[in-house]
Amino acid sequence: MPTEAAAQAMEILRDGSQFQWYVIALFAFTVYVYSVEIERKNWNLLMAGLAFWGMDWFNEIWNSLVFHFTQNAPVWGAPGQTAYLILIGLNIEICFMFAIAGIAFSKMLPDDKKLKIVGIPNRIFFAIIGSAFCVFIEVLLNKIGALTWDYPWWSASAPWLIFVFGYLHFFLISFWVFDMVSIMKKVQVVALIFAVDIVALLLFGVILKWI
């Protein structure tokens, strides 16, 4: 039986009547961020941003599958106010945020890939800091009920799983793509990430209607 939070999320899942006009502004801002990097030919930032976004879609898909198979609760849910709930744990506002987050975080990376910060390779250092920051924000969102957790192993009292499986791989893969020398290799990796996402969305969402 679905938890209260899961039931609330399912009531508004892909409900077009939730639409609010600020979504257009968020979309325009996201397009602007990417267009600036394209104009500047910052392919490293562009690809890093897309890799980050694609990894979030992957996470949201498996989170939705958890709810399908348990019929109890997703690992995280987003039952609060939204202009559109895409998946049980992903609303349109979160989607646009993750679309630009990878670019924002990658802008902080030093030019020197070998530079160490407090003895830690800087890419790993920023991945750790970024993941910790995102977990902190999630805890705040959870406290106000905007983001729900129904399992004790995924909560403020056990944040390490959120840290590792919720965010760390986003940053590591995004920064890995950022540092690739070959533009073609960047495109191939990003294309693979989104190919997996699209196939999963079509299979589990459109065909099987599990998510």
Looking at the whole model, is its pTM more than 0.85? yes
3-state secondary structure of 155: strand
One-letter amino acid at 14 equals R
Find the mean pLDDT for residues 109-121: 95
Q: Distance between CA 80 and CA 8 in Å, rounded?
A: 8
Q: Distance between CA 102 and CA 96 in Å, rounded?
A: 11
Q: What is the pLDDT of residues 87-102, one digit of tens each?
A: 999 999 999 999 999 9
pLDDT at 155: 95
Q: What is the pLDDT of residues 1-40, one digit of tens each?
A: 999 999 999 999 999 999 999 999 999 999 999 999 999 9
DSSP tag of 73: -
Q: Distance between CA 123 and CA 144 in Å, rounded?
A: 32
Other Cβ atoms closer than 10 A to 101: 21
Q: Distance between CA 172 and CA 168 in Å, rounded?
A: 6
Backbone phi, psi, residue 20, to 5°: -130, 145
pLDDT band at 182 (very low <50, low <70, confident <90, very high): very high
Q: Domain of 82?
A: 4-207
Q: How many domains does the chain fold into?
A: 1
Contact 194, 157 (CB under 8 A): no
pLDDT at 172: 98
Contact 99, 30 (CB under 8 A): yes
